[in-house]
Structure formats: structure tokens, C-alpha cells
Chains A and B, each alone.
Chain A
């Protein structure tokens, strides 16, 4: 197999930590964009969080958005330029805490958009505080004793399952990137989420359970185990909705 860098990815060393899932998913998005030959008409929305500098790595047009507002910004772009392929790339805090309203309503309006949702169960950028998707018992900077619903920390927010209930949403799948087979499944899901937009099917979302070894205080190997043993039990992998 001829392994080379996708055209949509720049030849740059990323700032991501060893074992982080962002680099893998960035590459998968770039591969899909190459394969669909849409690089010159694709616009990505970078979130507030670790992936805000995604435009340093992707070689197509990118806009920043205020924290949580990625899908509102994406809506504005797509509505005035329906010929473009527009996707948001968001973390759990961005998509499911401060931006819950924007996420839910863009999905509910059946905006013809693609959303790549990186769930690493913490706010990685700011020092690994509790995210809406932090697992029960998971220790973070703001849940030093582990997330406790009994203490008022709430439960892991299953935003993908909630979104799948909406009529405006055509495709939701949850994947991870801890084994080669997981990576291939994730790529297939991302491809589908982009194809749905090209075929004007409405709102598609791929949630990727993504390792954050630094934020979790684990080695990359242990982080992969954490996803397998713990996180994927809170957030079961697989297709949640497919009406495309």
C-alpha cells in the first residue's frame, strides 16, 4: 500500500500531545475530502479548544467560531453558499455544553451540514476539567474525587442519542480510533456524513471517542484501554441512526 500525505493535509508537525486522537481524525477528514474531490469547495469550522488551530494542518478554507457557535456559523455559511461543503469539527464542551442550543437547533432545522464531534470526555485545552461527557467516577481538574451524579456533577450527556431523535437528523454514528479497524470504521462514517451533505440529505454527525492521554493522566496504551473498558460503555459504539 502506498502511504502518503493527503493533499488536504499540510506537511506540518501538529501541536497535539502523543496519543491524542485529533491527528488521526484530522487525517481521516482530509482523506475523505481528497477522495470526494471537494477540497476547493470545502469549508471547515474550527472549534474553541485544542483543535482551534486545525487550519494550520488542513489545506482548505476554515473559519473559527466563538465557543459553541460552530453550527450557527456553519449555518450562515451554508445558507448563503449551498454549493460549498461545510462541516464543523467540535469537542464535547463546545458541542454539548456551551453550544448545546446551537447544536440542537441546527440539527432540528435539518441544516444540510456535517458535524465531526470529538468526544474526549474532558476540556483538554484548559487543563482537563469535567466535560458534559465525562464518565461517572472519572477524575478531572474539577472533579478531583471523580464525577459524581450524587454530588451534583450530573450524568454523561448522550447528545448523539438525543440528536438522533430529531426528525431533521439523517445520520448519527459513534466510533473510536483506538485500533486500525476502529480507524477504518471512523473513516467510513465520516465519508458517509460528507456524502449525505453532497446528496442534500440533511444533518449528519459522527461522534468519535477520542483518547486524551494528557488530560486523563494515562499513557496512550492505558488511554485506549480506558475508551474500551469505560468510555464506550457510557457511550456505546455503532450506528445510532441512519435514514440516508
Chain B
């Protein structure tokens, strides 16, 4: 691809561009830092493209407008940052219950409560365990670059339509606000998407009902089992990850999102110090479904595992589920809007003799 096709753009705006390119017809958002660039971008570009942009009166209204647009068969998206995503959980649970496709973007910031506006990965539990009420899952994609913010958002719309469920793009203040030069190349479409005959206003003769209420005896159980079958299918089909595993690696760093970038810097720094490639990196791109098997396989040859997060150990629990007692698992994390530094993580690795 030619260099002149490159565009210098922030992660938040790349998400917006992807939504436009993926045919998103409806966007509703509410102001919150650090994702304001995305709402501003959508306010310009959606209306320019003849599509719908609404600045909603609340996060609740925004996600429920998305519910309506999705129920009418449109591709729809909303975005926010951590405190706003907490408010959206009601709508996400209803989207999951009613099997409606939608894309929800979370540019994570420090918490809990109002927290601060620094980058964070402290919403991992909320994103991967459901967040709202009821037995449901959302597909969670975590981009590690501006380019992936673009391609993953394009992909998210296809996944949402294919599986009829909400898909979460989990980025953070770093991925959202940094700018990189990228070429807009939508990923090739591998999902065959049938017409949305279930949507409202199709006038096909039958009555279409969008619902998540099932009162009859065992009817809700049956609905839940159907959802569970869908989730098991996704666990088989939609696992995504990056893996760098040099032959001589003795340590595997497990990190996602912006921490994957830090892990790569750490690997280079330690290669300089030790004169060999002693660090491998495993980066889950789909946080749900989590790449349990692939991670267990990647660990086979290394001696130690280090989980690196901007939280106090949330993905760590999935790593433990993947590895059990197979390897010693170490953890390094900072949160509250603070970003671990390469030097302090290298010191930690050397102090604990992980390589």
C-alpha cells in the first residue's frame, strides 16, 4: 500500500472512521473524556454521510436509542468511557437478552467512581463477565494500535450482526488519544450476513416482536440455553491473539491493549541487557472469548509468566484459569490512571530472576 494513502489519526477517530466505512447508520453518544474525539468525529461525519447522529441526554438514553435503531435493523454504535459504560450496562443486558447487534466502545479511564481521565484497564471484569444483570456475554475486542482500532471496529459490526449480540471495543485513553499513520483497509468480510427478517418494520406479514421478557414456565430457561449455545460456538470460532515466542524465551509476558506495546519495549530493553531474546509476548485480542488454549500452549516452553496490566490483576484471573499451576505466574500492574514504565517492569523481572 502506498505511503501517500496513510492518514495520521487518533484511535478514537479511527473507530469513528471504521463505523462510517462499516455502514453504521446510527450513533448516539454523551460527552466524557477520554473519548470526546469520537463523539465529535461522529457528529461531523455521520450527518455528512446522511446518517443519524444524536447527542443523547444521558448514557442510558444513548444505549437505549442504539437498542431502538438495532431493533429496526440498522447498524448502530455508542461509545463512552468507564463511568459512562457503567451506566450503559442496563442497555447492554437488554441488547444481549433481545439478541440485538450493536457496537459499544469503551475508552477506559481510571476508576473506581469518577476516578480520573488517565488510561486504565480496570474495566476488564466488567467487559468480559457481562457487566449488567443476567447470564450473558459480549464479544470483547481490545486493539493494540490505531490500525487495530480501525480494523477491529469494522470487524465488530460483522460479528454483532452475525451472532446478533453486542460487541465491545475495549480501548483506553492511550489507544484512543494517540495518533498513528494508518491506511484504511477494512478487513475482508468472512461472515455471510442474512437479511434481518427479525427486525421491526419489515411488513413481511408476520408480527415481529423485540423482547427479552419470557414469563412462561421454562421459556426463559430455553432462551438462556439458546444464548449459551451461541456463546460456546463463539468460544470455538472467535478467539484472537498475537504471539511472539522466540526459541530461547524463558519468560512470557501476557499483556493486552496498550500494555502489549509496553511489553514489546520491555522485550527489546531486556534483549539489549542480556544479549538474547529471552522474552516472549502473548497478547489476547479477544478478551472474551479469552484464548485459554493458545495461551496454555504458548507457555509450554517458557519457565515463567508475567501478567502486565493497568489494573491490580483482572486479566490475571483468566491467565490463572488458562494455566492452573502449570507455571509460576507473576503480576505487575499499576492503575488509577498511571502507566507502568519500561524501567520499573524490567527491574521487577530482573529482581525476581524471571529470565
Contact = CB atoms under 8 A, between A and B. Distances in A.
Contact of B72 (A64, A80, A105): A80
B66 interface: yes
A224 interface: no
Nearest to B209: A55
B349 interface: no
A43 B207 CA distance: 10
Interface stretch (A67-75, A146-154, A168-176, A179-187): A67-75
A46 to B, nearest CB: 8
A59 to B, nearest CB: 6
Contact of B94 (A62, A66, A79): A66
B203 A76 contact: no
A105 B61 CA distance: 9
B211 A80 contact: no
B219 to A, nearest CB: 13
B54 A79 contact: yes
A52 interface: yes
Given A69-B64, A80-B26, A64 B208 contact: no
Contacts of B64: 65-66, 69, 72-73, 76, 102
A109 B73 CA distance: 23
Interface residues of B, number: 38
Given A75-B68, A76-B76, A84-B72, A55 B52 contact: no
A75 B27 CA distance: 12
Contacts of A84: 72, 200-201
Contacts of B73: 80-81
A59 B202 CA distance: 14
Given A69-B60, A79-B54, A105-B61, A40 B203 contact: yes
Interface residues of A, number: 32
Contacts of B183: none
Contact of A80 (B52, B91, B94, B213): B52
Nearest to A79: B52
Contacts of A105: 56-57, 61
B69 interface: yes
A236 to B, nearest CB: 29
B6 to A, nearest CB: 33
A106 B94 CA distance: 20
A194 interface: no
A226 B98 CA distance: 39
A234 B76 CA distance: 42
A15 to B, nearest CB: 10
B68 to A, nearest CB: 2
Given A73-B71, A80-B52, A84-B72, A63 B57 contact: no
Contacts of B210: 62-64
Interface in B207-231: 207-213
B209 A61 contact: yes
B207 A74 contact: no
A235 interface: no
Contacts of B209: 55, 61-64
B201 A41 contact: yes
A66 B76 contact: no
A178 B54 CA distance: 40
Of A66, A74, A76, A80, most buried by chain B (CB within 10 Å of CB) is A76
A82 B216 CA distance: 35
A63 B61 contact: no
B65 interface: yes
Of A53, A61, A62, A78, most buried by chain B (CB within 10 Å of CB) is A61
A76 B72 contact: yes
Contacts of B61: 69, 72, 75, 101-102, 105
16 contacts: A55-B211, A59-B207, A61-B200, A63-B200, A63-B211, A64-B211, A64-B212, A69-B64, A72-B64, A76-B68, A79-B65, A80-B25, A81-B73, A101-B60, A102-B57, A104-B57
Interface of A: 40-41, 43, 52-53, 55, 59-66, 69, 72-81, 83-84, 101-102, 104-105, 109
Given A73-B68, A79-B65, A104-B57, 8 more contacts: A61-B202, A64-B98, A65-B68, A66-B91, A72-B60, A72-B67, A84-B72, A84-B201
